[in-house]
Chains A and B, each alone.
Chain A
């Protein structure tokens, strides 16, 4: 699962070809002005406007730099010790080289970034509460922090090596006051799955889960934004805290789509439609893609399907010409995909194809 999982995080950013690059090894350009030793992808993901314009669109979310503290020395506990979790609580799950981990949303709401080491690899697990996006990034020898700025209501991270701004969903460097002229590159992403604790624990019983022993004195029983189970607060209404980049009203602002993007373009599948259709087709630019719902974790995967190969659902499995497959292991190239609120996706990818 490692290679494909690197292309996707539970509910955050996606990566297309750039993410694929993330599976094939570090960019030759790593070490440039932008990332320092942050591993970057071979190809750059699209931006909705110029990097300079994105900088102008950044606004203070209230907290100062690192006012929302990243978790830099995370510890994990076994499921049996996770008495602070309910089965319906959202978690962000990942498996790499046989190491399974879950990151509770209730903890990441207070920290937004976990600088972790996963199966020996330095990674950053990032979550933006206002756009409902969770994304994983290779971080090399540096760590990421919360800049305190938002674009399109979305977290703007910074790397502590070069102080470059990295808008989370775009996963691409932009200039900022702490680094005026970074190289415009895209981070290497990996997939995290947004699911529930109960589903993840059943699916990966060997998992460990991020502990509440984070080094900070926080009340993880109190979510300042609201909740998902059931939806309350920010997640139960249509109001945004800050202006969005776009105003596409195809769906309600906070309807969840599963978005996939490559350097060539973007596609969004309405998550409710994926739940009902279970197999959907679409295009990213000229490339046919296939979106497959996974009942086990209530998530979906998007694959390139350039030859238009035929697949059908049969129960929990997908049947192709060469046999039966589980949803996350089709014999196609997977594209980094993640959950996002519609306003956030359409604001950042206004030319996106949409399927519902």
Chain B
């Protein structure tokens, strides 16, 4: 009985989250928040894993042999994959790898978290969305995952010696971030009142 009630609550939360996400993507201002945050986070993630950085200069594209076969080949640690192409545009070098796909997924989650948080701030009464979101905080571990390799940039910068425990912990930062971001999204989304969402769709007063 208790399990049935729990499943019902989860279904409701997911349903409300979907409604909240749909609302966020319908509104132009929330879409802007989503787009800017997603793009910004993806850039930060790629910078953290070293796949978007200053390079040797010039202009050019290099693709490795059998790129599809190498796309899922691990590189410097768990959840880091070998780059299959190098794009050089002036001072910036971008390395294309499966990490771009992972980064885009994480960035999308961060973007949705922030877009919902934005809506909560703008229209709490109309949408029934709570004002708190842990999305920003939850996004940090994934950035740290970029350091889980032989030459951990952060560890070098901080002068920290890499213990086995620390290296192991860093390996789990990316999946931990993904779980936290999804949890955070549902946490915010479950507060969406479908009726308020529908009302918002037909125009409701906002905080402005």
A-to-B contact residues, CB < 8 Å: 59-64, 67-69, 84, 129, 148, 212-213, 215-222, 224-226, 233-234, 237, 239-243
Chain B residue contacts of A60, Cβ below 8 A: 164, 167
Q: Are A220 and B161 in contact (CB-based, < 8 A)?
A: no
- A331 CB to nearest chain B CB (Å): 43
- Residues from chain A with Cβ under 8 Å of B84 in the complex: 217
Contact of B56 among A62, A217, A221, A225 (CB under 8 A): A221
The smallest beta-carbon distance between B143 and chain A, in angstroms, is 16
Residue pair B76, A222 in contact (C-beta under 8 Å) = no
15 CB-based A-B contacts, threshold 8 Å: A62-B162, A68-B76, A129-B151, A216-B83, A217-B64, A218-B83, A218-B86, A219-B53, A219-B55, A219-B95, A222-B53, A224-B153, A234-B151, A241-B161, A242-B161
Task: Say yes or no: A63-B160 contact (C-beta < 8 A), given A215-B64, A217-B62, A221-B56.
Answer: no
SS of B interface (majority): loop
- Extra contacts besides A62-B152, A212-B56, A239-B156 (5): CB < 8 Å: A219-B53, A219-B55, A221-B93, A222-B93, A241-B152
Contact with A along B69-108 (1 / 0, CB 8 A): 0000011110000111110000001011100000000000
Tell me, yes or no, whether B159 is within 8 Å of chain A by CB. yes
- Please give, as numbers and ranges, the residues of chain B lying within 8 Å of A213 by CB-CB distance: 62
**Chain B residues with Cβ under 8 A from A129's Cβ?**
151
Q: How far is the CA of A213 from the CA of B86 in the complex (A)?
A: 11
Known: A62-B77, A226-B156. A221 touches B162 (CB 8 A): no
Q: Which residues of A contact B201 (CB under 8 A)?
A: none
Cα–Cα, bound, A84→B84 (Å): 21
Interface residues contributed by chain B, number (CB under 8 Å):
39
B57 in contact (CB, < 8 A): yes
Cβ contact of A59, chosen from B56, B86, B164, cutoff 8 A:
B164
B175 interfacial by beta-carbon distance below 8 Å: no
Separation in Å of the B159 CB from the closest CB of chain A?
Answer: 4
Evaluate contact between A63 and B75: CB separation under 8 angstroms: yes
A129 to B153, CA, bound (A): 13
Given A217-B85, A219-B86; A63-B93 close (CB under 8 Å) = no
**A239 near B160 (CB under 8 angstroms)?**
yes
A242 to B152, CA, bound (A): 11
Q: Quick check: B156 and A221 within 8 Å, CB to CB?
A: no
Instruction: Tell me if A217 and B83 are in contact (CB < 8 A).
Output: yes
Check if A221 sits within 8 Å of B161, measured CB to CB.
Answer: no
Chain A residues within 8 Å of B82, by CB = 69, 216-217
B150 at interface (Cβ–Cβ under 8 A)?
Answer: yes
Q: Which residues of B contact A225 (CB under 8 A)?
A: 151, 156
With A63-B76, A69-B82 known as contacts, the answer to whether A219 contacts B150 (CB < 8 A) is no
Q: Which residues of B contact A63 (CB under 8 A)?
A: 74-77, 149-150
CA distance A164 to B54 in the complex (A): 38
